[in-house]
Chains A and B, each alone.
Chain A
């Protein structure tokens, strides 16, 4: 089975801190994604990467950046955390050859910014 591992389940940070959320997948997937999940808003795409060192903005990239230096790892960076970035963050990966390959998700990181 594909395993997508997010480094932290819960994280509490202060406003203005730089925050790193890490995600690792073990199935050599080309595509990786970062979503945030908020009540009433569902999942919203922040950034995605279709291969190593490649990254594209999703629907809500403001306040975030990403890094994909190795195929298995996709990092989400909050340059200066703000309270409106308190959310559940979900990482996902997908085999890149076919558009209809399913996504495989990590268990999420619940980030609280105080």
Chain B
């Protein structure tokens, strides 16, 4: 079935360090790709998305590029802040019969220390 593999955490970085969280997805069909973020004590919220190859999603200084050739959607940020401490989830969305069976990566917990 459709699946997603996400870099395991936890990840601990100093403020202003660079961040990359790897995500690869099963190459079944042509999914749209999402990153969600979960801040402490809250539900998930959409961080960014991309709907076709070579699209770049961006928000709050985070970026991710839809790479069809490597089936990847890695999350990057050039300079993290303490307020970025959260759990990040990669999630592909497929059309068709499986469109309701949304699959999430297991989440990567990021801690940013001052």
Q: Which residues of A contact B (CB under 8 A)?
A: 4, 31, 33, 40-43, 45, 48, 50, 56, 58-59, 90, 92, 99-100, 102-108
Contact = CB atoms under 8 A, between A and B. Distances in A.
Interface in B13-59: 31-32, 34, 36, 41-46, 49, 51
B34 to A, nearest CB: 6
A100 B49 contact: yes
Contacts, number: 57
A106 B43 contact: yes
Nearest to A43: B104
Given A42-B89, A43-B104, A107-B41, A99 B46 contact: no
Interface string B66-108: 0000000000000000000000010001111001111011110
Classify chain B: how many residues form its interface, as a range.
20 to 34
